[in-house]
Amino acid sequence: MSSEFEGGDNLKFAAFNLNDQFTTNQITVRKEDMVDYAKKYDPQYLHLDEERAKAGPFGALIASGFYTMNVVWAEFIRMDVLGKECLGGLSADHIKWVKPVMANDRLMGVYTVIDKQLLSDHTRGVLTMQTRITNQHNAEVLSFTFKVLVDVT
């Protein structure tokens, strides 16, 4: 599987293979959205106070790392790769915020299947995926792995 995956064609567990990749559409980070998110969920000065942020380590407002994760995750979910077979997430691990994300950055996520395990009940399986989020310069800004429980039947 590759980035040719057509949204709405969610896959059955058996169709996933190691190294299958799914690439999201590009998302442009809007300053208003990143600030609104920070007000609700991550009210640090680096995300909210433009003047203080200018004097801070990045020289400008930066997006919350969780905003970055969530805005790209939403694009992945809209692709409907997992579809109705998804029974819920099990974990997110190895989260690394590599570079700051700023207003007007363009982000894209690549989700790669790195493990696939059929559970002993043979009705469910676990997919492990590596996520790599890059900006418009193809620089990695965030990476993480996650496990999701999937209906096999």
The predicted-structure confidence for 5-62, as pLDDT tens digits, reads as follows 554 455 688 889 999 999 999 999 999 999 999 999 999 999 999 999 999 999 999 9
* Structural fold of domain 13-151: Thiol Ester Dehydrase; Chain A (3.10.129)
- Residue ranges per structural domain of the chain: 13-151
> Which phi and psi (to 5°) does residue 19 adopt?
75, 5
The predicted-structure confidence for 50-80, as pLDDT tens digits, reads as follows 999 999 999 999 999 999 999 999 999 999 9
> Which phi and psi (to 5°) does residue 60 adopt?
-170, 170
The predicted-structure confidence for 89-135, as pLDDT tens digits, reads as follows 999 999 999 999 999 999 999 999 999 999 999 999 999 999 999 99
